[in-house]
């Protein structure tokens, strides 16, 4: 496993975009660390995707505290049909894979010149 830390500081309008280095493997989890008096404002919004394809890793609004998410995506058969645990049941999900891609972290509503950090844990 590898950990990629991305420190972010917002612009005056509360927005920011930052990237991990290029990485390959399966995304195990993404951790947002809210720390200190200059942390992102309460109610911050995140949109975290793979840069090349836009694959969704974490989208959440109105975040007020540190949080950890383990992104998963639905799996499908070779015919494009959703794989289910049982007929009409819950979708089978698996970790999201990235290949020589960067994780794009977009922030909105973060406050003027506020800071936060994200840790992306990858199985490579």
Cα separation, 74 vs 19, in Å, equals 25
Mark residue 71 as left, alpha or beta (left: phi above 0; alpha: psi -120 to 50; beta: remaining): beta
Cα separation, 118 vs 30, in Å, equals 7
Closest CA to 121 of 18, 49, 20, 51: 20
- The pLDDT assigned to 5 comes to 98
- The tens digit of pLDDT for each residue in 50-64 reads 999 999 999 999 999
> What domains are there in the chain, each with its CATH number?
2-71+97-123 (2.60.120.380)
Could you say which residues of the chain have pLDDT below 50? none
- The pLDDT assigned to 84 comes to 87
């Amino acid at each position: 496993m590898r950990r990629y830390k991305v420190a972010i500081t917002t612009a005056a309008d509360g927005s920011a975009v930052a990237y991990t280095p290029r990485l390959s493997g399966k995304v195990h989890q993404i951790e947002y660390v809210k720390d200190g008096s200059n942390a992102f404002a309460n109610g911050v919004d995140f949109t975290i995707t793979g840069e090349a394809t836009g694959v969704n890793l974490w989208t959440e609004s109105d975040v007020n505290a540190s949080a950890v998410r383990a992104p998963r995506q639905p799996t499908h058969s070779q015919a494009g049909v959703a794989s289910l645990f049982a007929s009409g049941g819950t979708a089978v999900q698996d970790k999201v894979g990235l290949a020589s891609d960067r994780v794009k972290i977009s922030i909105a509503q973060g406050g003027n010149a506020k800071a936060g950090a994200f840790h992306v844990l990858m199985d490579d």
